[in-house]
Structure 1
Amino acid sequence: MRLLTFLAFLLFPISAQAACEGVDLRPQLPEETRARLQSAVAEIAYPEGNHWIARKGDTVLHIIGTLHTFDPRMEEVIDRLSPELNKADAFYFEVTQEDMNAFEQNMANDLTAVMITSGPTLIDLMTEDDWDALSTALAQRGIPGWMAAKMRPWFLTMMLSIPPCMIQDPNATYGMDARLNDLAVEKGIPQHSLERIEDLMAMFDSHPLEKQVESLVRLSGAMQGNADQLVTMANAYMEEKHAEIIQFAHLQGLEQSGLSPEAFDAEWRNFEQQMLVQRNANWMAQILDIRDQTVVIAVGAGHLSDDYGLLNQLEKAGYVLTRAAF
């Protein structure tokens, strides 16, 4: 998610190094796993397509699925999309760059949003072995143990998903969102946020601290991102296979977690409910208020597919959807 990579660069030092280098893991999948992946994707509504146009009366919505991380292939995509998107009346992002900048200024003076400010620290709430494993993984991402011990578990869970090589790449966050932001700024097109960062953090922090610690320990192995996963995600994104990205993450997470399928699926459902289902529902309340305009709605590609996805919800709301060139 764009906010987490933004926070990573805000809170921790980076160094100019080569971009992440890895391999696409999908060709290496065993035949049985590949069949399970394809079967899961086949059951999902709107599994592909990074650019859809939703029409209802005089309202035209360009739904753009984005990837929040850098990929040089995006430059050609922007060149193809620009002539059409330049005509938009407004751009809607998860969070606009202007709101990100305002949040950055607040965070510079107050880190309580991601810190445990009173009571026990994570060292007190975890076994020694669990803490040692977690602190080692976080150190690889530039987060020292003394700081990690006082950070909120939901934040650390998501930080683990960011590959260490990405933390070290100053260009890492120049993804599709940032490029579309530049396009809107260049053309003087108004921008709007679909959510407030403060509301998003409150949602993540809604579970008791002990429950967050339990999930952090259970998922720490499954959530650790690496260069191969980043390359796999980027390739699938450029192929416009956003449902495959999520289902691949589910299958690989189960394998790496060491949990039973039942235990892992319970954690996954909670993650899915917060990161996708609930946020999509909140965004739709704003999107459906857009009338008689042509707008661009640019959000993470993982928000497009499935029953709870924006595309399926727009269809149910009476919009006519057409897949467009990307």
Structure 2
Amino acid sequence: MPDITCARLDHAATPRQCRTEVEVFGMDLMRLFALLIFLFLPATLHAACEGQDLRPNLSAEVQAELQKTVADIPFPEGNHWIATKGDTVLHLIGTLHANDPRMDAVVARLMPTLEQADAFYFEVTQDEMDAFEKDLANDMSPIMITSGPSLIDLMSEDDWSALSGGLSERGIPAWMAAQMRPWFLSMMLGIPACMMHDPDASHGMDARLNNLAADLNIPQYSLEQITDLMAMFDSHPIEKQVQSLVRMAGALGGSEDQLATMANAYLEEKHVEIIQLARIQGLEESGLTPEEFDAEWDSFDQQLLVERNANWMQHILGIQDQTAVIAVGAGHLGGDHGLLNLLQQAGYALSRAPF
């Protein structure tokens, strides 16, 4: 890893910190990035997240816009759907990657049904996450800039100051952030500071279902490989990644209130509402024109949802004559390019089931 010049970095950083790799102290997307954060940041204590649901205080105009948008989107609600075609039965479970104690009751309700499954499919299985963790401890190049200019050389001083300030709130020192890949920093900005060092923060619904499958000795499979996911995020030139990071920094910062809103909406099974509210608020907070914001949002949507859903469908359509659980982030279920719509187009009969 190249040396980092400290002149514009955190003045508290030691010379060794400015030229050495980050010390290791120790998936779906939140699990993956939570894992990376826990691996590479020094352990400190934070208060538990105690945000408030933002929806009751939305203006009448925003509420009307939100409901109109949601009404026009296929399959906007439901965290448990059953897709059937011949002798193939798929239980699609929308998950939330952040922890919430209320999920325990959901898993208890689902267990009598899911324990009959022949296989569980996750975005990435825990075993593969564990293997990736070991590899990353020895080679951090997937998330670090290992050659060429650092981020402080690719941004203006004002942009770097604003970005590093937001990361500092999450316990990420500037000397470290300067060598991180822009797409990774974008993800970290979306995680509220209160989650950053909570050891249970990533024990969400998918983690609970992973444990359930392991306890029941039901085979588990991944719908994607972490290396492919990394390659997708890093497919654009670093200069374009930096441009998107700077333009969207104002809209990316996750707060405790946003986390509480997301968790409540998830447990109400309103997964499309979560995404559309984030889009409405993101435009307001970004400071961009609607055209500029839409271009950035649509680029994220294309990578994070559309392309991944299409790739996952190649695996899902290969499941034949068995009962399987497909446990993925709830945001992947609804919409024109969501898994539910894609399955319906492929000839599956869909029915909403209890959650």
TM-score using structure 2 length: 0.91
Paired residue secondary structure (1:253): helix
Equivalent in 271, 280, 305 of residue 251 of structure 1: 280
Shift of 1:5: 1.7
Residues 51-72 of structure 1: CA deviation (Å, up to 9, x unaligned):
0000000000000000000101
SS state at 1:218 partner: helix
Kept in 1: contact 2:96–2:204 (CA 8 A): yes
1:12 pairs with one of 41, 52, 56: 41
Q: Which runs of 5+ in 2 are unaligned?
A: 1-28
2:201 to 154, 172, 185: 172
Gaps of 5+ in 1: none
2:5 alignment counterpart:
none
What amino acid is aligned across from residue 65 of structure 2 in structure 1?
Answer: R
- Counterpart secondary structure, 2:325: strand
CA offset digits 1:263-305 (Å, max 9, x no partner): 0000000000000000000000000000001000000000000
> Which amino acid counterpart does residue 65 of structure 1 have in structure 2?
G
> Are 2:290 and 1:266 equivalent residues in the alignment?
no
Paired with 2:44 and 2:152, the residues of 1 have a C-alpha distance of: 29
Q: Aligned partner of 1:249: which letter?
A: A
TM-score with structure 1 length normalisation?
0.99
> Residue 327 of structure 2 aligns with which residue?
298
Q: What per-residue deviation string (whole Å, max 9, x for no partner) do you get for residues 72-110 of structure 1? A: 110000000001100100000000000000000000001
Of 63, 72, 80, the residue aligned with 1:43 is 72
1:239 has 2:273 as partner: no
What is the one-letter code of the residue matched to 1:260?
A: T
Match of residue 152, structure 1, among 170, 175, 181? 181
Task: Tell me the percent identity.
Answer: 67
RCO greater where, 1 or 2, for CA within 8 Å and sep 6 or more?
1
Give the counterpart of 2:159 among 112, 115, 130: 130
Aligned residue identity for 1:59:
T
Q: Is the 8 A contact 1:53 1:61 kept in 2?
A: yes
1:14 shift after superposition: 3.4
**Is structure 2 residue 220 aligned with structure 1 residue 182?**
no
Q: Which structure: greater helix fraction? A: 1
**SS state at 1:63 partner:** strand
Q: Which moved more, 1:216-225 or 1:6-15?
A: 6-15
User: How far is the alpha carbon of 1:139 from its aligned partner?
Assistant: 1.1
> What residue in structure 2 maps to residue 201 of structure 1?
230
* 1:88 and 2:117 correspond: yes
Larger radius of gyration: 2
CA contact (8 A) 1:163 1:226 kept: yes
The amino acid that maps onto 1:301 is: A
Looking at structure 2, the residues matched to 8 and 287 of structure 1 have their Cα atoms a distance apart, in angstroms, of: 30
Deviation at 1:143, TM superposition (A): 1.2
Q: How many residues align?
A: 326
Alpha-carbon offset, residue 170 of structure 1: 1.5
- Partner Cα distance (2:289, 2:69) in 1: 19
